[in-house]
A and B are shown apart, each in its own frame.
Chain A
Amino acid sequence: MKKSNKRKSGAVWLVVLILFICVAATTMAFLSRLDNFLLDDSGAISLMGDSDAGKDKDNQSSATQSGSENAGSNSQQGNKKPTNPGFEASDDNTVWSTNTKVEIFRLSYQNGEKVVTVQSDGGDKVIAPGTENSYVFKLKNTGDVALDYTVEIDAFCTPQGTEIPIESRVNRYDGKWIAGSGTEYADVAQLDKAEDSATLGAGRYTYYTLDWLWEFESGDDERDTALGNLATEQDLLFTIVIKTTATESANPNDQSGISAPQMGDNTHFTLLVTLAICSFVVMISLIIYERREKRRENAEAKKVEEKEDI
């Protein structure tokens, strides 16, 4: 009779455990569904001047919002869910912000035999006849709405009027040349005018490759030597500035650009953790219950034994 009660009790608790897990899972599912009915304020712009509008918290860009520029285009969206735009310019080492120092030039250069042929005597990057480099930068739409972006390049020599025979070319990932071409390099003046505009779909990216070189045999050794000699008296600088600007596209569903590969595990981590915690709590409760039961049974057995002794 006692054993039967015990079995019954165990079965009940098993059912309770299963039900509890089911309830926890249902609650989680319900809450996740309920989230869709709540006001999504992630794309809202704070009236307090907080510019944390995008998801990309790593993006230290100087994002600014203007309420007057595009009322027309957004009004077309009607009652659509607020968008969450985000844009990131970067290279392999750095996520750009305002005036980000990037690595277009180098402190030293090697020839084909891996021998250092040009080396700065300090911390300044240098250029010289025979030097060249490639720089790749990436523009990524980190938001959920298409963006129109522009890339503008400024290139200039300092002091003004200095003519450094640097040649460059800039290529977009899809083969479009915005300066120079596959067979020709552009001079400083042409690079200075280089510009490109395009649309980048949500979650998509694009990249540009900037190649520059100072030909070793440019045909004017005297000029090169004169520049090298003048450089001992004053700094002759060559500067490249790459400016990127992104705004919400009039066509928010545009899918231009390269789609980023799906990364990581999409399993509902929160749900699994919650279930694990619930299971743990139930397990502990069962253990405590079992112990209490044992104690109770022992006490009853003692009482029966005492009665029998009497």
Chain B
Amino acid sequence: MKKNTMMRIASVLLVVVLLTTSVISGTFAKYVTSDDGSDWARVAKFGVKVAAKGFDMFKADYDTTNTTLFSGSSSVSAAADDRDDVLAPGTSGSFADIAITGTPEVAVDVDIDATVAVSDKWTVDGLFYCPVTITVGADKFYGLDYGSAASFADAIKANIEGKSAQYAPNTKLDDTYANTNLDIAWAWAFEGTDGKQTDVKDTALGDKAVTEDLTIEIGVDISVTQID
């Protein structure tokens, strides 16, 4: 009987505890909530490379003409060298590759700055005579088509610098600059076929070169800069 009473009391207490637990749990619990937002970004790729190979266009086997190429570029590692290279009838050379490669995720400005200087000593009988052909990509510039050293130099310079342009993000620069677009080459034909180049004048130039410097200087400075 005593046991039964105890059981009853215990049962009642259990029920009361269960009931009050549900009530006071709502009173004593503390509300804690946490949210978080996050985001990440990666550094946009640049990865533009400017490379020049074979900047020593004029061979060093001759000693009458001073030429330099690809001088003073902040973006291209090639630098001018001071050696004297020479031009002569029947000689030619390729400046070879100037290549700009990469697919930057930023808009870029490809700025090509050219320095072209043709000595005004390229004269025979007082008239400009430079039977050298300079090739820039697919464009040819034949010295004898020009009336002065300055106009010949300006034409080459304008052509090289005309390849400067701005590009939107993710433009593959290789498509424009990694093929032959920026190749610069030179040639002095051994025998002229157009009547403008003659052996007599070529010989006169050679004689003149003994005492005077007949030079052609071409420098290319390429910089690829992000556009803001």
CB distance from A118 to the nearest CB of B (A): 5
Q: Once A and B bind, how many residue pairs between them come within 8 Å at the CB atom?
A: 220
B29 adjacent to A66 (CB under 8 Å): yes
B contact residues around A240 at 8 Å (CB): 38-40
Is A124 in contact with B41, judged by CB distance below 8 angstroms?
Answer: yes
The B-contacting residues of A in range 122-152, CB under 8 angstroms, are 124-131, 135, 137, 143, 145, 147
- Contact-size category for A: 35 or more
Cβ-closest 7 pairs across A and B: A228-B46, A44-B26, A105-B41, A232-B47, A70-B30, A119-B169, A128-B44
> CB within 8 Å of A: which of B91-142?
102-107
Please name 16 further chain A to chain B contacts, defined as beta carbons within 8 Å, in addition to the given A128-B105, A232-B102, sorted by A numbering.
A54-B31, A65-B31, A71-B28, A82-B26, A87-B35, A89-B36, A101-B39, A111-B228, A117-B226, A118-B105, A128-B46, A130-B228, A228-B44, A228-B104, A238-B41, A238-B42
Interface 0/1 of A54-86, CB less than 8 Å to B: 100000011111110111011101000011010
Smallest Cβ distance from A48 to chain B, in angstroms?
Answer: 10
Residue of chain A at shortest CB distance from B31: A85
- Please classify the interface of chain B as helix (H, G, I), strand (E, B), loop, or mixed, using the class held by over half of its residues: mixed
A75 to B28, CA, bound (A): 7
Pick the interface stretch among A21-29, A91-99, A254-262. A91-99
A61 and B35 contact, CB distance less than 8 A? yes
Residue numbers in A under 8 Å from B170 (CB-CB) = 119, 121
Tell me, in angstroms, the Cα distance from A239 to B172 when the chains sit together. Answer: 29
Contacts of B42 in A (CB 8 A): 124-127, 231, 235-238
Residue of B nearest to A89 (CB): B35
Which residues of B pack against A, CB within 8 Å?
21-23, 25-47, 102-107, 168-170, 226-228
Residues in A neighbouring B30, C-beta threshold 8 A: 65-67, 69-71, 73-74, 247-248
Residue in A99, A111, A115, A232 with the greatest tally of chain B CB atoms within 10 Å: A232
A43-B40 contact in complex given A121-B105, A121-B170, A229-B47, C-beta closer than 8 Å: no
Assuming A45-B26, A65-B31, A130-B226, is B36 touching A125 (CB within 8 A)? Answer: no
Give A240 to B29 CA distance when docked, in angstroms. Answer: 32
Which A residues touch B41, using CB under 8 A? 104-106, 124-127, 237-238
